[in-house]
């Protein structure tokens, strides 16, 4: 602990581990510490024993099978096949540490029924989600968005400057009805509430493009998911850091952040002080340097069956997502339901893990997710794990004192805002953009 480091990183959540791996590759001397005995922090995947100990302080029942057969995510998110996280995985070549498998499909609850979100034009034409005239207009718009280039006015001039008009004005120009707007904004652009309608239309176009590009990668679903759970991702970046000289310490408590002259100089742990030029960490390590900005309700439910009404072409969906829009739920924010199973090596054969996530809007988390729970079919109350997590953001950008703090993971269904946070922290630390250009071998393929 007497050694001097370039960077100390506190917490092994996905954001911290990505930054640890990237900075190690760039030649920084990194010390990575975590008070927990496992990797992943808030984004860990727990075995059955760890899950029951964390939420119930008890041992799991024998009928659920061996603990090691379960890998249960603490944050329910899938990975969009074309999102920034995939670019980071490819750029760093961390993909060699794990495998991904496609999620069967995405669904939306509309008028009390579950419908599959169309993945191509053929599905869209058959889908009862949109009327016949809306289907044509929607198809034309999606084709136009596929050709959209923000640097080429010819591709967007018929709608006006998409950076100057609001999304609401954009949809009015196209002539969509409320149902189609809801489908595009929540089902494809994955916006959690209707506040996006007042944002520049450019934002919604980019989100719909991301959804379309993600589907085009594999043809039936925009989502992929790592075998053995999301907790594999931080471990992969940890391995990358170690290869380039990074040092990791689990079960290592952080006693004090040491500053001199208003600037970070080191961390005190178990009576010892280790020094570095800067520190990066999740909000739990800096309670006096963050502000609370909201809460997320998350719920894990262990099932003996897939979620009802999620069949695709007559086949059971072993991994899927359901979006309950704010309008359908009569709330201010959407509710997201995801389901994974033995198909992704996270549960024993015949077992399923349903996960629910949304922004907390009341003092009763069960009420916040009541409509989502009704969609799961039969379950045992003993196998339900509900948590309410505070969301934190740093009070400042960290440049002055060299203390860089990540934001808490939000209720969003994929990693868009998480990656924005990673890129922003990297930019503040280095003064440059993170280069996401794929390696040459990827460019040749």
How is 13-29 classified by DSSP, letter by letter? SHHHHHHHHHHHHTT--
Per-10-residue mean pLDDT for the chain, 445 residues long? Answer: 88 96 96 91 94 96 96 96 95 92 94 87 78 84 80 76 91 90 92 95 92 89 96 95 95 94 95 96 97 98 97 92 96 97 97 98 97 97 97 97 97 94 98 89 46
pLDDT at 260: 96
The total of other beta-carbon atoms located within 10 Å of residue 245's CB is: 12
Is pTM, for the whole model, over 0.85?
A: yes
Inter-residue contact 200 to 192 (CB < 8 Å): no
Output helix, strand, coil percentages for the chain, rounded to the nearest 5: 35, 25, 40
Q: How far is CA 330 from CA 9, 327, 335, in A?
A: 41, 5, 11
User: Degrees (nearest 5) of the Cα angle 69, 56, 363?
Assistant: 120
pLDDT at 144: 81
10 Å CB burial of residue 68 (0-12, 13-18, 19+) is: exposed
- What domains appear along the chain, each with residue ranges and CATH number? 4-56+228-292+394-444 (3.50.50.60), 120-219 (1.10.405.10)
pLDDT at 441: 59
Q: List the structure tokens of 255.
A: 């006693």
> To 10 degrees, what angle do helices 201-218 and 132-147 make?
90
Helix (H) or strand (E) holding 359: strand 352-359
């Amino acid at each position: 602990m007497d050694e001097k480091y370039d960077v100390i990183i506190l917490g092994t959540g996905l954001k911290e581990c990505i930054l640890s791996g990237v900075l190690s590759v760039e030649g920084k001397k990194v010390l990575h510490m975590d008070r927990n005995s496992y990797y992943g922090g808030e984004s860990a995947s727990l075995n059955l024993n760890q899950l029951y100990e964390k939420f119930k302080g008890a041992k799991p029942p024998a009928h659920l099978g061996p603990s090691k057969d379960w890998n249960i995510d603490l944050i329910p998110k899938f990975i969009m096949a074309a999102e920034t996280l995939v670019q980071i995985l490819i750029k760093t070549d961390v993909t060699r540490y794990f495998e991904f498998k496609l999620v069967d499909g995405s669904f939306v609850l509309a008028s009390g029924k579950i419908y599959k979100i169309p993945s191509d034009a053929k599905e869209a034409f058959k889908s009862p989600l949109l009327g016949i005239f809306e289907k044509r207009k929607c198809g034309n718009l999606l084709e136009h968005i596929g050709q959209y280039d923000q640097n080429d006015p010819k591709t967007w001039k018929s709608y006006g400057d998409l950076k100057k008009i609001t999304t609401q004005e954009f949809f009015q120009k196209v002539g969509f009805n409320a149902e189609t707007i809801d489908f595009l904004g929540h089902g494809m652009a994955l916006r959690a509430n209707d506040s996006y309608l007042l944002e520049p239309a450019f934002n919604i176009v980019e989100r719909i493009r991301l959804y379309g590009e993600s589907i085009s990668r594999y043809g039936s679903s925009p989502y992929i998911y790592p075998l053995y759970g999301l907790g594999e991702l931080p471990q992969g970046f940890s391995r990358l850091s170690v290869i380039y000289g990074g040092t990791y310490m689990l079960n290592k408590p952080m006693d004090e952040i040491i500053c001199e002259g208003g600037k970070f100089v080191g961390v005190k742990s178990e009576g010892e002080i280790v020094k570095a030029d800067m520190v990066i960490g999740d909000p739990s390590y800096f309670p006096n340097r963050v502000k609370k900005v909201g809460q997320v309700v998350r719920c894990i439910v262990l099932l003996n069956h897939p979620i009802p009404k999620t069949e695709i072409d007559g086949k059971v969906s072993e991994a899927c997502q359901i979006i309950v829009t704010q309008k359908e739920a009569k709330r201010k924010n959407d509710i997201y339901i995801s389901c994974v199973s033995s198909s992704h090596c996270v549960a024993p054969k015949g077992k399923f893990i349903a996960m629910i996530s949304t922004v907390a809007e009341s003092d009763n988390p069960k009420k916040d997710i009541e409509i989502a729970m009704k969609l799961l079919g039969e379950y045992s109350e003993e196998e339900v794990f509900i948590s309410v997590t505070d969301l934190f953001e740093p009070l400042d950008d960290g440049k002055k004192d060299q203390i860089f703090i990540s934001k808490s993971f939000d209720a969003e269904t994929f990693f868009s805002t998480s990656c924005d946070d990673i890129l922003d922290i990297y930019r503040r630390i280095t003064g440059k953009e993170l280069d996401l250009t794929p390696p040459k071998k990827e460019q040749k393929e």
